[in-house]
Amino acid sequence: MDSKKRQPLGIELVKRGIVTEEDIQRALDYQKAEPKKKIGDILNILRVCDPYVLINAMGEILEEKAIYLKESDLKINMLDYISLDIAKQYKAIPFDEVSGKIKVCFADTSNKRAVDTVRLLLLNKGLVMEKYITFETNIDLILNSFEGSSESIDVNANVSGFVDSVIKTAMEKRASDIHIEPMQEGLRVRYRIDGQLIDAANVGKEKQAQIIGRLKAISNMHQEKQESQDGRIIMYPEYNIRVSSQKNIYGEKFVLRLLKKNEDVKSIFDLGFKRDEKLLKDAFNKKNSITVIAAPTGEGKTTTLYSIVDYLNRPEINITTIEDPVEIRINGLNQIEIDPKTTFAESLRTVLRQDPDIILVGEIRDTETAEIAMQAGQTGHYVLSTIHTIDAIEVITRLRKMGVSNYDISSTLATTVSQRLVRRLCKNCAKERDFTQEEKDVINKIGEKYNVKFDLEGKKTFDAVGCKKCNNTGYFGRIGIFEVLMLNDKMRTLIINNDSTIDIRNEALNSGYLPLIVDGVNRILDGTTNLEELNNKLAIY
């Protein structure tokens, strides 16, 4: 995006208080290494202010309509209006059409050739163009998703070939889930990679019924039924693929969960847990108790359970797991996969008659399972399980709401661990820079709140830029951040007296408990992730 010749864009932004002179100098320094990038785009890459505020201010200065364009803003299929080559050449994306008017985003509205070429192409289709500006990085991110779909997924293949291409490409791109979604004008395919959904392909409405029929056939689902169904795909030797269907207003949506077979169990330290053997032994080497891993869905609870069990696994110990499904097979363990006719609670009752030392229960979902797990912990066993809560302390609240007595919680619950998965910066494209004063202030306030001294002296941080390797996101892979709560006698007294979790939290903080955010800041300081990603995960400002 070009600035007005009468007054440089940077000066206008400073005048309006959007950025500082220091920010402009940083952008100019950045531009020396990337001379083709414009100041507005660089300011966005450096995240010197809210990107929505920045793009709107730039629109006012340049007297153009502006939008912070995201994939969710695309109301039409771009490729129905202009080719991918044209979109890439002129950095232009048609994103909405209403009553013969089509909205098109440009990275540079001052590029008269680009604007006039796209305008003429659309005029030949009977459409009047309404131009907008957005950041070039936003344009590139969206174009990359189209490029990936065109190069990797064969949308012109027969139905069987298309479905096979979608699944194999997802495997190659490290996707954990595939979303196949009927929309008003076609069928959208998206991949969840490192926790984020990325567009992969769009196909015409005329192919929808055939594609859905093929998915049902290979998932062993009923073809005629349109209500919710569950199935599995077993035709790919290295993967277990769980399939779920759900009817929506435009057809049946499918979500495929990809689980790699025979994947090695990672060390808990490799997952991101603090490298402290004493902490590990104190937290997990227990008897006559229960340990709970807590986090929302999709935050790696099961992976952490596997790493703990692998750490505890020895020939003289009988370890039994109850899972839905068994995701990783571990030598030396008795692993039980529950089926639709059984529950965790029923399987747990049977397991207690099998002379176990350690029992892994995939998830505490209901009161019955919670109570049996507590009883197992009180009768000489060590129980490991997961639960859906926002942090380690809220496990107590969740168990109370399930109807577990304060006595059972107090006497049996030993350790709770909460975790989140944050995206790792892509080593191929991350840009090193100094912390801004605002970032330092945020980090120092966190330290003051939890009585932790963060050493920022000489430390650098990194901006997520984006490249082909990381799907233009700026991140590649994820790592866990953790908090560990080990109950002491004072906390147990508070629980048995039915005191609030606020009182329990205060006692925990006084006893050395540190929340997730502290571990997250440490991951920023060691260059693994950045403040923007931590804020996306924990909403800290």
CB 364 within 8 A of CB 412: no
Q: Which CATH superfamily is domain 277-420+479-518 in?
A: P-loop containing nucleotide triphosphate hydrolases (3.40.50.300)
Question: Confidence band (pLDDT; 50, 70, 90) for 2?
Answer: very low
Q: What is the pLDDT of residues 385-413, one digit of tens each?
A: 999 999 999 999 999 999 999 999 999 99
pLDDT at 3: 41
Average of pLDDT values for 418-436?
94
Average of pLDDT values for 433-452?
95
Which of the 8 DSSP states describes residue 353?
Answer: T
The residue ranges of DSSP E strands in 382-533, in sequence order, are: 382-387, 413-425, 431-434, 460-463, 475-486
pLDDT of 149 over the 50 cut: no
320-347 burial by CB neighbour count: b if 16+ within 10 A, else e? Answer: bbbbbebbbeeeebebbebeeeebbbeb
Q: How far apart are CA 394 and CA 416, in angstroms?
A: 9
Question: Confidence band (pLDDT; 50, 70, 90) for 6?
Answer: low
pLDDT of 383 over the 70 cut: yes
Average pLDDT, the chain: 90
* Of 176, 184, 381, the residue nearest 297 (C-alpha): 176
Question: Confidence band (pLDDT; 50, 70, 90) for 160?
Answer: confident
pTM of the model: 0.69
pLDDT of 146 over the 70 cut: no
Using CA atoms, how far residue 508 sits from 87, 124, 481, in Å, is: 55, 68, 18
For the chain, domain boundaries: 9-139, 153-260, 277-420+479-518
CATH class of residue range 153-260: alpha beta
pLDDT of 150 over the 50 cut: no
The fraction of the chain above a pLDDT of 70, given in percent, is: 96
How many angstroms separate the most distant Cα atoms in the chain?
A: 83
pLDDT of 87 over the 60 cut: yes
One-letter amino acid of 526: D
Q: How far apart are CA 141 and CA 134, in angstroms?
A: 12
pLDDT at 340: 75
Q: Which CATH superfamily is domain 9-139 in?
A: Type II secretion system, protein E, N-terminal domain (3.30.300.160)
pLDDT at 394: 96
